[in-house]
Amino acid sequence: MQATGLHQNRKLWNVRPPKTGVPARMSVFLLRRCLTLLATLVGASLIIFLVLDALPGNAAQMLMGADASPDAVRALTVKLGLDQPLALRYLHWLGGLVSGNLGNSYAYGTPVAELIGERLTMTIPLAILAMGLTTVLALAAGIYTAANHNRIGDVGVMSLTQIGIALPNFWFAILLILLFAVKLQWLSAGGFPGWEDGIWPGLRSLLLPAVALAVVQAAILARVTRSAVLDVLREDFVRTARAKGLTKREVLWQHVLRNAMIPVLTVMGLQFANLLAGTIVIENVFYLPGLGRLIFQSIANRDLIVVRNCVMLLAAMVIVVNFVVDVLYAVIDPRIKVHEL
């Protein structure tokens, strides 16, 4: 007896790719992916450079401020190399990128790589923490509501997610601060102490921001999960599995979930990319030293060398996240072959 649609299909599909061909196709796939990555980055670099260069004002003027003597501003312009022609500055930057030397921040005077690295030690843990919370909340809510479709629990939880989606996360963040920092004084209202004093103080400071970010994202993801699970529940193989005597729970956990994961994973990939770059509002509310604020401040200060490199990094990260999601598709659903993506 053939068990489920999934297993049935795997047998059929396995016939096609000859075993020896798989590694070769995999490397072609990787090569193609790398080339796309490179082309995207080069294109992005050109656009980033030109767009940022069109901004009025420059770093020397910003650093020296309004009251500085014009002579001093000129001296700084030369010192920062801002007086060189456009093409030369672009090539200089590209050369730096290739050789791994990102240059020094105009404002801080320290290496850009160091600045970005410092920010990533906060941004990445926050993104992971928020994504973890999002996943747990969303999957629990999504599966629960789908399994109890149209019952009171489903309606209740789905109304909550409706509220969650409507909630502006910065406002929710302020509510969290008012309760946990101002009223109860359990957690600090913001800031990030770094990881030097151990993991706990760092995690503690990321707790509220992660919750503020996760609630809104989880609401969205829960709805996606629910509808994906509901779709799969209507499939023929679910009926077959039930017919062969599996309990509802067994069908749900063994067969439905895995099949429902593709859209969920797609949304998760988008959300994670967003958490890496798009958390500036939350960073501001909690005054966290994240990547988003670094970019924002650097644009305001015309510290364009930092902006350019940050945006390049984000572009690369988004491409990598997408790549990981694609690979995960194949892991979850063996019918999908990596080299066909």
Partner 1 sequence: MLKRLTIIALAALVAAVAPASAQSKKDSVVVGMTLEPPGLDPTSAAAAAIAEVTLYNVYETLTKINEDGSVSPLLASSWKASSDLKSYTFKLVKGVKFQNGEAFDSAAVKFSFERAGAANSTNKDKALFQAMEQVAAPDAETIEIKLKHSEPNLPFLLGQATASIVEPKSAPTNATQPVGTGPYTLGAWAKGSSLTLNKWPDYRNAAAVKLSKVTIRFISDPAAQVAALLSGDVDAFPRGTSARTLAQFKADPRFTVLIGGSKAKTIVTINNKKKPLDDVRVRRAILAAIDRKAMIEGAVDGLGTPIGSFYVPGSLGYVDTTDINPYDPEKAKKLLAEAGVTTPLQLSLRLPPPAYARQGGEVLAAQLAKVGIVAKIENLEWAAWLSQVFNGPHDFDLTIVSHVEPFDLVKFTEKNYYFGYQSEAFDKLYQSIVDTPDEAGRAKLLGDAQRMLATDAAAGFLFQPQWITIINKKLKGVWKDVPQFENDFASWSWE
Which positions touch partner 1 (CB under 8 A)?
Answer: 55-58, 61-73, 75-76, 78-79, 107-110, 115, 118-119, 174, 177-178, 181-182, 185-194, 200-201, 204, 284-290, 293-294, 297, 300-303
Q: Residue 13: CB partners within 8 Å, gap ≥ 6? A: 334, 335, 337
Based on CB atoms, which residue is closest to partner 1, 61 or 322?
Answer: 61
Based on CB atoms, which residue is closest to partner 1, 77 or 254?
Answer: 77
Based on CB atoms, which residue is closest to partner 1, 121 or 322?
Answer: 121
Based on CB atoms, which residue is closest to partner 1, 255 or 302?
Answer: 302
Query: Shortest distance, CB of residue 293 to partner 1, whole angstroms?
Result: 6
Q: Can you tell me which residue has the tokens 């795997």?
A: 10
Query: Shortest distance, CB of residue 275 to partner 1, whole angstroms?
Result: 18
The Cα-based distances of 281 to 76, 170, 309, 311 in angstroms read: 32, 6, 21, 17
Q: Are 217 and 134 in contact (CB under 8 A)?
A: yes
Q: Are 221 and 186 in contact (CB under 8 A)?
A: no
Query: Shortest distance, CB of residue 314 to partner 1, whole angstroms?
Result: 17
Query: Shortest distance, CB of residue 55 to partner 1, whole angstroms?
Result: 7
Query: Shortest distance, CB of residue 331 to partner 1, whole angstroms?
Result: 37
The Cα-based distances of 260 to 137, 180, 230, 234, 336 in angstroms read: 17, 37, 9, 11, 14
**156 CA to centre of own chain:** 29
Based on CB atoms, which residue is closest to partner 1, 189 or 270?
Answer: 189
Q: Are 175 and 215 in contact (CB under 8 A)?
A: no
